[in-house]
Chains A and B, each alone.
Chain A
Amino acid sequence: MSATEHRPECRSIAAWLFTTDHKAIGTLYLGFAIMAGTLGGAISGYMRLELAQPGMDYVVNGQSWNALITAHGLIMIFYMVMPALIGGFGNWFVPLMIGARDMAFPGLNSLGFWLLPLSLIMLIGSLLVGDGTGTGWSLYPPLSGIDGQPGPSVDMTILALHLAGISSVISAINFVTTILNMREDRLPLFGMPLFVWSILISSLMLLLAMPVLAAALAMLLADRNFGGAFFDPAGGGDPMLFMNLFWFFGHPEVYIMILPAFGIISQIVSRFSGRPIFGYPGMVLAMASIAALGFIVWAHHMFTVGVGFAPRAFFTLASMVIAVPTGIKVFAWIATMWGGSIRLTVPMLWALGFIIMFTVGGTTGIVLANAGADQVLHNTYYVVAHFHYVLSLGATYAIFAGFYYWFPRMTGRMFPEWVGRWHFWCFFIGTNVLFFPMHFLGLAGMPRRIADYPDGFLGWNMIASLGAVLALASTLLFLVMLAVSLRRGASAPRDVWGPAFTHEWDDDPEMARPRGTAGAEAGA
């Protein structure tokens, strides 16, 4: 019983369906994220297959290609990264870290989760019905308008995003309330683990950013179906307005995804350096200022839409300033290691991979922040390389880091560490071989979102596709390891990683026991 005691025990489908226990819901989120990530990864594998050589050999036509890239982006952002980092780890560990029995609103928590699979069904439907949403995840009109995409697909995508948005706002309200109101006695805000801080700040950003997307999508829906003219030049509307609204959401969204990753990396670096995080107040302020700056840099996605010197200069400078708090975080992680007693465990490997790769992505971000240079880099593969370095090699590394770190806590079982190391090195090499050459392609001028490319881009595309094979193979290794470890993994004690600085590892049977419907089942 000792191995199973500290995980939510749901023995029937109904128990999983109706559970309101934060740990069970966290597990649901993680399982959902793994499934959605597998789907999004499969799509990217298919895309790399198409791009491995010139010509259009696999996709039916450009429209279905565009629909695939749209689905890949939306699935990875809304159904993989966010559910894993915020819904999964946030649900599991925020209450445990602050000493709360559960989330403030367990029912809303369940509602927030179950909206996501239903939303994903709607999104997959949009891919299967008609021609698909061939607009890219940014959904710019007029291409996303009724003339550009006449079928039902875009409407289904918008409705799916509305459902996902409701889910996000509900979860954000829940996290904010939980963190502000349910901390254990005498746990001050500035005593909270950095992961809790990161979830709090991300939630606050979600509250302000998501509704702006909802408004923009409502207008797009009205344009498409009720004859509105918000973004239709024929009726006096302006497509550029949609870009502004979209990126006012879109850029904070990027930080909503990366802040929880920062939080996880902070926990892991601290734990395996054997000391509390260095410069804690600076780390909190850095995250807060990244969040605040995140709301005033959106137009760096729009440097080439035709705006004058002053706005481009402002957004250039504001975007570059973000490097300062980001630098504080990287240096503080290193300072935590410096003088520490470092154990290079599997989660620590992933965390170090994150720090280095995120620094690479951050550096190319500085290049892209310059409006002057962006004239030859905007929308090229350089941008694709940049955001995959911060998301695919950044956020995803953090997800794996957190997953390996908390796996013993969540399941009571240990994974075979050698597999974790193989997974890391194969994924590390695979993703770098996949994404690093994209810098070269971008500098050479290869546009993103094209299904076929001029022959001069062949070489690096082929290399990138080889990297994708390795990255996907290592993911497969992870899935197999997961399946085996869940059933046969060795029993893991709570102190499997040594002494902890945070409370989620406390051996508190009262806190570990599940509640509600699931609890009744498990207690029986």
Chain B
Amino acid sequence: MSKTVTEVGGTDGRWPVAIAVSLFLLACAGLALFHPSLFGTLAGSIAVLGPLVIAAGLLPLFIALTAWSRATSGERAIGPQNTFGPRIAIIALIASEVAFFAALFAVYLRYAIYPEIAGFSSWPPTPMRPDDPWGGPLLNTVILVASGVCVAAAHDWLLKERWQLSAIGLTVAIALGGVFVGLQLREFSLASVGFRDGVYPSIFFLTTGFHGLHVVIGILLLSIAAYRVIRARSAGGAGFITTAASWYWHFVDAVWLLLFAVFYAWAS
């Protein structure tokens, strides 16, 4: 029986277990934030940490992921040595993210289209208003689209083996992503309504917040990609991570465009 299998992935089985335990610890950190008294004598220190306890919970996950990535250069998929497999995996991952954001958008649209069921006469419920879409949000849109263009160009350059240009493109994209996150945090801190002020701020902050989280993840992926490109100086050496990161970034971009259209432009 002829097999197309040509290579066996060299996965060190310790890291997946470490990551599973880290995710469990992260869940425990969340629990500690909600219910410090569960943790007995630790309750005092948890109270001091506050939301930072989540950061403490993220630490083992970050260490485990970094270690796994360093040990194996990320998981090398086994099977035919083409990028078809990893491509499927990234598409599947993005499909599940699409389903996640679709649920958030569905909740928003449910309230926006039928505000009267929830007892509102308009949406957003008066007196709440989103920021003027043609100010900060538009600037954010321009920044994120520009970073998307940079990533696309960087990916293209890499395929043409022009790794210096590619690295520059990725770096600019990362910087633009950072500016976007900074501006979003500023917008959150200046917001006139808080998360607790009803269903509109709840869904607004949750959706934009989750999007921001995905931007941060995208920045991390792009950073790994840039690091690989600079070290390897070739498309083959950089590996699939550049493609994966750029696809992910385009997905995050697309979500923002929808967010801008629905949560900002349409709402005002």
Contacts and interface: CB of A to CB of B under 8 A. Distances in A.
Interface of A: 17-20, 99-111, 114-115, 118-119, 121-122, 129, 151-152, 155-156, 159-160, 162-163, 166, 169, 172-174, 176-178, 180-182, 184-185, 207-212, 214-216, 218-219, 222-230, 232-233, 235-238, 241, 244-245, 248, 506, 508, 515-518
Nearest to A180: B88
B146 to A, nearest CB: 29
**Dominant secondary structure at the B interface:** helix
Contacts of B86: 177
A245 B14 contact: no
A129 B38 contact: yes
B89 A104 contact: yes
Interface stretch (B117-125, B134-142, B165-173, B239-247): B117-125
Given A104-B77, A236-B199, A99 B99 contact: no
Contacts, number: 225
Given A236-B199, A237-B118, A156 B31 contact: yes
Interface string B147-158: 000000000000
Contacts of B15: 107
Interface in B1-57: 1-5, 8-9, 11-17, 19-21, 23-24, 27, 30-31, 33-35, 38
26 contacts: A18-B17, A20-B11, A100-B79, A106-B11, A106-B78, A110-B17, A114-B21, A115-B24, A118-B24, A122-B27, A155-B34, A163-B27, A172-B96, A181-B88, A182-B5, A184-B3, A185-B4, A212-B99, A212-B100, A219-B107, A229-B198, A235-B196, A235-B197, A236-B199, A245-B103, A517-B12
Contacts of B34: 152, 155, 224-225
B132 interface: no
Contact of A177 (B77, B125, B203, B210): B77
A152 B28 CA distance: 12
Contacts of A508: 1
A118 B30 contact: no
B95 interface: yes
A304 B26 CA distance: 39
Interface centre among A163, A185, A229, A248 (most CB of B within 10 A): A229
Contacts of B16: 20, 107-111, 114
Given A108-B75, A229-B198, A176 B35 contact: no
Q: Report the interface size class on chain B.
A: 35 or more
A18 B14 contact: yes
Given A118-B20, A227-B196, A101 B3 contact: yes
B59 interface: no
A169 B206 CA distance: 21
B3 A181 contact: no
A100 B11 contact: no
Given A229-B202, A238-B117, A212 B195 contact: no
B85 A235 contact: no
Contacts of A236: 111, 118-120, 125, 198-200
Nearest to B2: A185
